[in-house]
Structure 1
Amino acid sequence: RVLFIEIKGKTSRDPMEKLETLRLNIWNANIWLPGNVTWEDMKSKPGRPMPEFQDLLYAFPFSISFLLFRIIFDMLIMEPLARAEVQSVSTVGPCQQSKVGMGKEYMALSSDLFTHLLVPQGNGSLNAGRKWIEREKGSLRSVKEQLEIRKIRETGYRSVAHSIVFLFGVWTMADKPWLRNTDLCFWNPPHPVPWDIWWYYMLELGFHITQTLMLPFDVKNSDFLAQLTHHVVTIGLMMGSWTAGTIRIGSIVLLVHDCADVILQCGKLLKFFKGPDPDATVFKVFLAFTATWILTRVIYFPLYVNIPATKAILHFDYFYFASVSLVVLLWSLFLLHLYWTYLLLRVIYGMVFRKKKLHDNRSEDEDSDEDDEIGKNKSK
């Protein structure tokens, strides 16, 4: 195979010629497509719509729509609900306030030791020192409550957005034969793209673009880099599988990933809005999430997606650069799954053997993160 194209008979170093050569090399069919497929085969024809690269531009209107939906949903629904929930909890005693993130700093400020240490800052008056402490507690409480409100707003949006995408995916994939027989994903490519798969891809791609762009502005967890890597790999898989025409296996990957995400976000939202017997309810959701996560991402994903895809590219006709890259991305995704499974097992271990309460293991560094944010706010 010829993987690179040269413009013969040209000796000038015209930049436009170089760009044209680069474009032809990048879009060489031998890089992206199986040996018996050309770009002409990938063009849509009447009654046979194909996944064309320029279609990916439609993902950006979807991304903007998700962003606008998040802004409106935050303003009209989640912001009032979050403030009402946080304020209702803040009216109870200090011991219960610590449950919504008041933290060790609040308890320390209210101790007798700090009262005596801070007397000089109150001009020698014990009452003035206590007033200073009350002001500090109020400032600390305000920052902590704002952080809690942000978390509730973000979790509420993710719960709704993940649910919308997942339900659309279930409706789209319910009648697809390759969902039950993954061998069909690699049989006689390239495959035409049904209209519902087209919408599913654009919806998912737009959603993940929005998630990636908003990630630096959301409340950060200790696995920020893992989340960013996951979003980038997922977007790369969607764009690569669409361009290479491997949309069947790509659609399965999307559906498998959404299963556990919906349960996770809904469980976190229930943890914020405490109803009757909240611990028992959240624990049941956690069990459902754990079972779904292990079944879909630790068992099904490698056995029915990664391994068949890896075997498929070993066939000579399938061994092209894009397919190898897609398989590398698939296994990278699985490594991220194993990392998060490790964090999940740590939570289970703490609950079973150390009698710890259920919490997001990725937020163990949250106290220090919040301290930094409190310091920034107080220095302004």
Structure 2
Amino acid sequence: MDLLPDIWRQDYWLPPGVTWRDMEQLADADRPQPLDLLIALPLALGFVALRYVFERFFAPPMGRYLGVKNRSQKTTAPSPQLESFYTQQTRKPTHSEIAGLISLCGKTQRQIEVWFRLRRNQDRPCQSKKFGEAAWRFFFYLLAFMAGLTCLIDVKTLVLAPQGVLEGVSNTGQLKKAMERAHYWYYMLELGFYGSLLLRISVDIKRKDFKEQVIHHLATIFLLIFSYCANYIRIGTLVMLLHDSSDILLESAKMFNYGTGWKKTCDALFVVFAVVFLVTRLVIFPSKIIHTTLALSMEVFEPFVGYYFFNILLMVLQALHIFWAGLILRMVYKFLKGKLEKDERSDEESEIEEEEEDKGGEENADHGDYCWERSKDTLNSKLSMLTNTCVLNSFSNQRASVSDRMRKAQ
């Protein structure tokens, strides 16, 4: 029963010399309190409902304007045995499992493989669904970025002189700056949004970096909670602002990528996104943010539990930044070489989509029977034409030979 009070021990959350009483004594100003975080739960549910309304009524007309079209899909033949195996066991059966299905449903190995590939493609998310998700995130990141700018009017000064983010704690251990209401609502909206992403993670499109995205969301939520309770509001706002700046460009590039006739716009936005991402997350974030919290903060207070916890989470984010930067740089290299065939960005392609995107892979196999039947018909037609031609030529040569013999006999 004493575990819960121990969680809020001041030596865990606050630097040495700073107590919860110091925060309570802030006069005529709002102060961060752990109970304030409870409002993030209804906000997360509100974001889920608002997102449903947006994707249901607003995203479709926007998609039609940009030329977003769903691709036609070939449906599978009804097979209760295969459908039951697909839904209850696995979507990708092994060779031994296929051998057991051959005797069960009376199909050949080739027919079973094609059936499963077509069935997986039926579950592939359509273009309109992907556009709706990208549009929703684009508008939120845009509004969040503008809200962050209003919270940090002196953001330029903070980036150039990051020690300014430590103004919340002085050498005497007294808090110098109180939380403003704008920071409070900015924090709660960001926390509610990332909470809604976790609530919908089971129904959203699964990307190649699904695990990395989950780690990113959890690290972000813990950072928001800790920085709010410890009154690291200014540096937390700056971290979110840097992240939102590149996310806006990424989501806008994806929106135009799903439409038709916007390739040049998509390429231009992606190039700008790559530059902003690399500068903000590989240059500013480690050299300004992490350096400030890890090294410069020691000039203000001594290390404590929250110091290590906070910097570990920031380093987790930086490791994810490096991972995603590698994918982006690989795309940029292929883009400059003119060999870019598909998007390799961290949040662009899913495992299901790769089955269709890979030209040498499963998409050709999905339509193998159809292509074989069509090729066989074409081949039979050509063989018939060739046979008819040979027969006609033989008959014509025979008639010519008979005519020559008749003329010689006359």
TM bin, normalised by shorter chain, reads 0.7 to 0.9
Equivalent residue number for residue 337 of structure 1: 321
Asked if residue 249 in structure 1 is aligned to residue 228 in structure 2, the reply is no
Equivalent residue number for residue 194 of structure 2: 208
Conserved in 1, the CA contact under 8 Å of 2:253 and 2:266?
yes
Secondary structure of the residue that 1:51 maps to in structure 2? Answer: coil
Letter in 1 for 2:330: R
Identity %: 26
Change (3 A) 1:102 1:344: farther
Equivalent residue number for residue 126 of structure 2: 147
Shift of 1:364: 6.5
Deviations 1:265-324 (A, max 9, x none): 01100111224xx22111110111011101111110001100111014545833110121
Conserved in 2, the CA contact under 8 Å of 1:271 and 1:282?
yes
Change (3 A) 1:101 1:252: farther
Shift of 1:145: 7.8
Shift of 1:161: 1.6
Conserved in 2, the CA contact under 8 Å of 1:306 and 1:330?
yes
Q: For structure 2, list consecutive stretches of 5 or more residues without a partner in the other structure.
A: 77-110, 170-174, 357-361, 367-410
Equivalent residue number for residue 182 of structure 1: 162
Conserved in 2, the CA contact under 8 Å of 1:101 and 1:144?
no
Q: Which stretch of the first structure deviates more once superposed, 191-200 or 145-154?
A: 145-154
Aligned match for 1:171, one of 130, 150, 154: 150
Q: Distance in 2 between matches of 1:141 and 1:330?
A: 38
Shift of 1:224: 0.2
Asked if residue 25 in structure 1 is aligned to residue 6 in structure 2, the reply is yes
Secondary structure of the residue that 2:21 maps to in structure 1? Answer: coil
Change (3 A) 1:143 1:79: farther
Equivalent residue number for residue 46 of structure 2: 65
Asked if residue 158 in structure 1 is aligned to residue 144 in structure 2, the reply is no
Q: Distance in 1 between matches of 2:355 and 2:308?
A: 39
Shift of 1:62: 2.2
Deviating runs (4+, > 6 A) in structure 1?
Answer: 83-86, 139-142, 369-372
Max radius of gyration: which structure? Answer: 2
Q: Distance in 2 between matches of 1:341 and 1:40?
A: 43
Equivalent residue number for residue 389 of structure 2: none
TM-score, reference length from structure 2? 0.68
Shift of 1:352: 2.4
Equivalence map 1:343-354=2 (5 Å): 343-353=327-337
Secondary structure of the residue that 2:253 maps to in structure 1? Answer: helix
Equivalent residue number for residue 20 of structure 2: 39
Q: Distance in 2 between matches of 1:332 and 1:149?
A: 33
Deviations 1:310-366 (A, max 9, x none): 014545833110121001100110010000000001111222236224624442633
Secondary structure of the residue that 1:356 maps to in structure 2? Answer: coil
Change (3 A) 1:234 1:101: farther
Q: Which stretch of the first structure deviates more once superposed, 165-174 or 312-321?
A: 312-321
Shift of 1:65: 2.2
Q: Distance in 2 between matches of 1:369 and 1:40?
A: 59
Number of equivalences: 310
Q: Distance in 2 between matches of 1:142 and 1:330?
A: 38
Q: Distance in 2 between matches of 1:222 and 1:235?
A: 22
Equivalent residue number for residue 198 of structure 1: 184
Q: For structure 1, list consecutive stretches of 5 or more residues without a partner in the other structure.
A: 1-18, 91-99, 106-131, 376-380
Conserved in 2, the CA contact under 8 Å of 1:59 and 1:205?
yes
Q: Distance in 1 between matches of 2:306 and 2:203?
A: 33
Letter in 2 for 1:215: I
Conserved in 1, the CA contact under 8 Å of 2:30 and 2:180?
yes
Q: Which stretch of the first structure deviates more once superposed, 289-298 or 43-52?
A: 43-52
Letter in 1 for 2:150: W
Equivalent residue number for residue 231 of structure 1: 217
Letter in 1 for 2:284: Y
Change (3 A) 1:268 1:34: same
Q: Distance in 2 between matches of 1:255 and 1:38?
A: 29
Conserved in 1, the CA contact under 8 Å of 2:124 and 2:352?
no
TM-score, reference length from structure 1? 0.73
Equivalent residue number for residue 29 of structure 2: 48
Equivalent residue number for residue 268 of structure 1: 254
Change (3 A) 1:102 1:82: farther
Letter in 1 for 2:238: I
1 or 2 for the larger relative contact order (CA 8 Å, sep ≥6)? 2
Conserved in 1, the CA contact under 8 Å of 2:125 and 2:205?
no
Letter in 2 for 1:61: P
Asked if residue 324 in structure 1 is aligned to residue 308 in structure 2, the reply is yes
Deviations 1:225-246 (A, max 9, x none): 0000000000110101111121
Equivalent residue number for residue 287 of structure 1: 271
Secondary structure of the residue that 1:269 maps to in structure 2? Answer: helix
Letter in 1 for 2:287: L
Q: Which stretch of the first structure deviates more once superposed, 348-357 or 147-156?
A: 348-357
Conserved in 2, the CA contact under 8 Å of 1:253 and 1:305?
yes
Q: Distance in 1 between matches of 2:234 and 2:6?
A: 27
Letter in 1 for 2:203: F
